[in-house]
Amino acid sequence: MTNRLILKLLTAFSAVFLVAAAPHESAAQGIPSARAADSMAEFCRKGQAEYPGGIARMHPSFKFNICWWLEDAGIEASTFDEIVATLPEHAGPSQPVWQAIFSKPAQVHLERARAAEERSHSAAASAEYKKAAFYLRMNRLPKRVPTADLQATERAYAVLGKPLQRIAFKTGEKEFIGYFRAPSTRRSGNEKLPVLVVLGGLDNLKTEMIRHSDYFIGRGFATLIVENPDTGENQLGFRPESSVMFDAVADYIKTRSDLDSARVAVYGWSMGGYLGTLGGLRNDFYKAIVNIGGPSDSSFGQVHCKTAPAWIVAPYTAFANMNPQTTPRQAMCEYYEAFQLSRQLKTPTAVQSRKPILMVNGAREDLVSRDEPASLSALGFNVTQLVFGDDGHTAESNMREHFEFTANWLMRRLKMEN
């Protein structure tokens, strides 16, 4: 892998579909001007790190995830550009015109999928359901359950005879739903499978993490995909104490005779890297932690919070149940200070200090503090860092490479055969 450096790591959130224009004194103040790609095709071709302003006519937070969503759905970026070109300037997901524009191609693909199903053309039906799910995803709003997207995605796998097994977890009075998936073949009938608990970003649905699950299933892991609190089908509030969701997941894994409770790890993407790290450290059941571009300590500190890009501060504020247009940035910064690992884990135990943590990101990360490695080292944690010098947040342009590195790293830590 070229331009890979083992060096200081950066961290941040994943995409939040929120458009927030705000007064100068608010949390969402002053989105800085930056070169925006003229089209999604250009954006995906030249690399996301090239364009910190995002895509022309789209909110900057769309810069993350969309290229690989398109790829997974089998949709050409140029086709997506044609649809985006019909959006009125400054339109957002909450507006009827936005919803209507993306609903139209979604319905076309749903009709094609149903017709293919009737003809027993399973592969064609699955492909059409995936395309429909992509366009339905464009219409979702933060903190809303995207029922149509979930249904289309689940149908895409069900028609192939590979259903996404829905598992209901409960902590207190709150429920969250995950997808359990396992390799179709095993080396021996009695083999107990190692498990990887996969967590997406702040507004990543579990359907969006299937690509990750696919890779690790291919390397011999069973996977449990769950969503961050306040996202999709997770009813928990977005707070540090919601890391107890990992206790509920651990309890479930212990009930499965086909799963190896001695070989379980956490894989958190973007903001999922934060909660996965916190939950994975708090419960000794988890043997290793992978944090892909997720914040941990200094990213929640006052120094970084006061200079973080406004377009990412707005979602932070919304997930704190504050109004991005009226909340002073200082108030938002003070709220998130409590999220710091140094405050949540004041005195790490010996087990926590020894637990291996892999942090992966791009050197051109443009959202969060550059002091995270030093912060975690100062707390005494056992951190391995993988940084791609030619990439940005979560090193998405090098995703396949860091999947491989991560799988090999996990297999060594969990003492798995390659």
Let me know whether 67 and 141 are in one domain.
Answer: yes
Residue 116 has pLDDT above 80, yes or no: yes
User: Whole-number mean pLDDT of the chain?
Assistant: 85
In-domain check, residue 310: no
Instruction: Kindly state whether residues 272 and 386 are assigned to the same domain.
Output: yes
Higher-scoring residue by pLDDT: 179, 18: 179
Residue 389's pLDDT is 87
For position 27, what pLDDT does the model report? 53
Per-residue pLDDT of 397-412, as tens digits, reads 899 999 999 999 999 9
pLDDT, mean of residues 354-368? 87
Are residues 40 and 82 located together in one domain of the fold?
yes
Q: How far apart are CA 311 and CA 309, in angstroms?
A: 6
Percent of the chain with pLDDT over 90: 60
pLDDT recorded at residue 12: 28
Q: What is the pLDDT of residue 369?
A: 79
Residue 330 has pLDDT above 70, yes or no: yes
Domain end among 151, 174, 207: 151
Of 122, 151, 180, the last residue of a domain is: 151
Whether the predicted pLDDT of 244 surpasses 70: yes
Q: Rounded mean pLDDT of 123-150?
A: 91
Residues 293 and 197 in one domain: yes
Residues 117 and 261 in one domain: no
CATH of the domain at 276: 3.40.50.1820
Stretch 358-379: mean pLDDT: 83
Q: Which residue has the higher pLDDT, 186 or 276?
A: 276
Domain count, the chain: 2
Highest mean pLDDT among 24-38, 49-63, 182-196, 277-291: 277-291
Evaluate if residue 30 carries a pLDDT over 60: no
Q: Residues 347-357: pLDDT tens digits?
A: 899 999 999 99
Please tell me the distance from the alpha carbon of residue 332 to that of residue 314, in angstroms, as a whole number.
Answer: 10
- pLDDT for 381 equals 94
At residue 250, does pLDDT exceed 90?
yes
pLDDT at 5 over 80: no
Please give the share of the chain, as a percent, with pLDDT higher than 70: 86
Looking at the structure, do residues 77 and 202 belong to the same domain, yes or no?
A: no
Question: Is residue 91 scored above 90 in pLDDT?
Answer: no
Structure confidence at residue 55 as a pLDDT band (50, 70, 90): low
Instruction: Look at residue 6 and tell me whether its pLDDT is greater than 60.
Output: no
Residue among 328, 332, 379 at smallest CA distance from 352: 379
Sheet holding 259-269, edge to edge: 4-5, 382-388, 356-362, 288-292, 259-269, 193-199, 222-226, 174-181, 165-171
Q: Tell me which H or E stretch contains 343.
A: helix 341-344
Of 338, 339, 350, 348, the residue nearest 379 (C-alpha): 348
C-alpha distances in Å from residue 394, one per residue of 19, 20, 187: 22, 24, 32
Which helix (H) or strand (E) is 352 found in, with range? helix 350-354
Does residue 23 surpass a pLDDT of 50? Answer: no
Is the domain of 139 the same as that of 211?
A: no
Same domain for 357 and 257? yes
- Reported as a pLDDT band with limits 50, 70 and 90, residue 50 is low
Those residues with Cβ within 8 angstroms of residue 85's Cβ, 6 or more apart along the chain or in another chain: 57
Residue 308 has pLDDT above 50, yes or no: yes
Domain membership flag for residue 156 = no
89 pLDDT exceeds 60?
A: yes
**Residue range 142-182, pLDDT digits in tens:** 777 889 999 999 999 999 999 999 999 999 999 999 999 99
167 and 122 share a domain?
Answer: no
Lowest mean pLDDT: which of 35-44, 198-207, 215-224, 317-326? 35-44
Strand runs labelled E in 218-321: 222-226, 259-269, 288-292
- Asked whether 219 and 407 are in contact (CB, 8 A), the reply is yes
Q: Is 334 part of a structural domain of the chain?
A: no
314, part of any domain: no
Structural domain includes residue 205: yes
Q: Do 120 and 62 sit in the same domain of this protein?
A: yes
Same domain, 138 and 240: no
- Residue 53 is predicted with a pLDDT of 60
Residue ranges making up the domain that contains 67: 33-151
Best-predicted range by mean pLDDT (252-261, 339-348, 376-385): 252-261
Does residue 366 form part of some domain?
yes
pLDDT of residue 306: 86
Residue 75 has pLDDT above 70, yes or no: yes
What are the angstrom distances between the C-alpha of 40 and each of 22, 71, 189, 310? 26, 12, 46, 22
User: Do 276 and 233 fall into the same domain?
Assistant: yes
In a domain, 107, yes or no: yes
- Of 105, 124, 151, which marks where a domain is finished? 151
Give strand ranges (E) for 228-381: 259-269, 288-292, 356-362
Residue 295 confidence (pLDDT): 93
Q: Is residue 169 part of a domain?
A: yes
